[in-house]
């Protein structure tokens, strides 16, 4: 006689998973493959998710880290995270066909930085060193024009050219609460600093973090589906812990779940970072259904209906 399955409530976060920028970036690679055939080169992972990248690789996408690894005669796509200004300039010099899949909300930050620079302001960027979005945004302006801060402590050490001529921008995938603390420190030290007209942290990051905060008091553990190099997914884990969830775990897919850490749990929250497909969410739900007498509850805090157009070059007739 088989042992009876323990009961467990799975709280499903909504919204979760793909955002409009990720949807658009994946569509760009698929449309480029349809238009030009394989191989199509992609500079950096199009989005930070191995499952997505492997799926596109199987269709004929070749992922590289630098433009120098791409041949002149094949199309190249720039990832959703954005690239320094020098990259498309070099592609144009080499007369390459290139498609920019930068998320429009990241491009908005690039435009903002350029506008402030033209007005004679030095930029302070709140972001994570080494993240491709940060590298791309800082690379929009000449060296020294964008200063990076990651923490409140970094603000105290900032050496600026003129305290009266500063503006700040942020990476789009940061913790809303942590960023607010850094912004407060910047404003306290540099009262004249100018902020964005509308917050740079994107709607998808904000919505997913807000839902985790609502779920956290109801659960014993939180699972976030996402890649280790996905900034917005890692922030969801941090937000869950800060909101009072005793155990929060980042998993790429069902095979990565640490079931021993969930022993005794009666309520588990499940969400997915903005670059994680719903297919992986369903895979995790099925894994829970195999082990538990499952009750599912959806916790919805926002409805998302954002859609971004793909670049004109892909909407034009096949070359």
Express each pLDDT in 223-234 by its tens digit: 999 999 999 999
The question of whether 133 is a catalytic residue gets the answer: yes
Under 8 Å between Cβ of 132 and 81: yes
Q: What pTM was estimated for this model as a whole?
A: 0.94
pLDDT of residue 7: 97
Backbone angles phi, psi at 235, to 5 degrees: -65, -35
Q: What percent of the chain has pLDDT over 90?
A: 96
- Name residues whose C-beta falls within 8 Å of residue 115's C-beta, 6 or more positions apart in sequence: none
Q: Do domains 20-103 and 105-189 have the same CATH topology?
A: no
For helices 20-36 and 104-118, what crossing angle results, to 10°? Answer: 100
R_g of the chain computed on alpha carbons: 21
Q: Where are the domains of the chain?
A: 7-18+203-300, 20-103, 105-189
Alpha carbon 303 to chain centroid, angstroms: 19
Reduced to 3 states, what is the DSSP secondary structure of residue 16? Answer: coil
pLDDT, average across residues 139-161 = 97
Task: Retrieve residue 172's tokens.
Answer: 């789009």
Of 3.40.50.10700, 3.40.50.620, 3.40.1010.20, 3.40.50.720, the CATH number of 7-18+203-300 is 3.40.1010.20
CATH code of the domain made up of 20-103: 3.40.50.11270
The topology (CATH level 3) of 105-189 is Cobalt-precorrin-4 Transmethylase; domain 1 (3.40.1010)
Residue 299: partners with Cβ closer than 8 Å, 6 or more residues away: 11, 12, 13, 14, 211, 214, 215, 218
Query: Are the beta carbons of 148 and 201 closer than 8 angstroms?
Result: no
Whether the upstream peptide bond of residue 15 has omega within 30° of 0, thus cis, is yes
Catalytic residue among 4, 65, 66, 133: 133
Alpha carbon distance 162, 59 (integer Å): 51
pLDDT of residue 1: 42
């Amino acid at each position: 006689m088989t042992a009876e399955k323990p009961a467990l409530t799975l709280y499903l976060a909504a919204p979760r998973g793909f955002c409009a920028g990720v949807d658009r970036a994946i569509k760009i690679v698929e449309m480029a493959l349809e238009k030009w055939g394989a191989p199509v080169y992609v500079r950096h992972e199009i989005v930070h998710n191995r499952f997505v990248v492997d799926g596109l690789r199987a269709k004929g996408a070749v992922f590289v880290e630098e433009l120098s690894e791409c041949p002149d005669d094949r199309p190249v796509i720039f990832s959703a995270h954005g690239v320094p200004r020098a990259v498309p300039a070099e592609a144009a010099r080499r007369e390459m066909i290139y498609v920019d899949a930068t998320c429009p909300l990241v491009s908005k930050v690039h435009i903002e930085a350029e506008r402030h620079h033209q007005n004679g302001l030095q930029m302070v960027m709140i972001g994570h060193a080494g993240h491709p979005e940060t590298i791309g945004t800082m690379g929009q302006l000449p060296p020294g024009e964008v200063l990076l801060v990651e923490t409140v402590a970094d603000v105290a050490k900032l050496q600026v050219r003129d305290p009266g001529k500063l503006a700040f921008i942020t990476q789009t995938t940061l913790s809303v609460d942590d960023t607010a603390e850094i912004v407060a420190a910047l404003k306290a030290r540099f009262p004249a600093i100018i902020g964005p007209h509308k917050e740079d942290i994107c709607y998808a990051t904000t919505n997913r973090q807000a839902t985790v905060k609502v779920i956290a008091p109801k659960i014993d553990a939180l699972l976030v589906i996402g890649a280790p190099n996905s900034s917005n997914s890692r922030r969801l884990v941090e937000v869950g812990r800060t909101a009072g969830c005793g155990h929060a775990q980042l998993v790429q897919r069902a095979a990565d779940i640490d079931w021993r850490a969930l022993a005794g749990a009666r309520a588990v929250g499940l969400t997915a970072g903005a670059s994680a497909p719903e297919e992986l969410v369903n895979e995790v739900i099925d894994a829970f259904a195999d082990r538990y007498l499952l009750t599912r509850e959806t916790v919805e805090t926002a409805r998302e209906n954002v859609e971004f157009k793909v670049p004109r070059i892909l909407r034009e007739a096949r070359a």
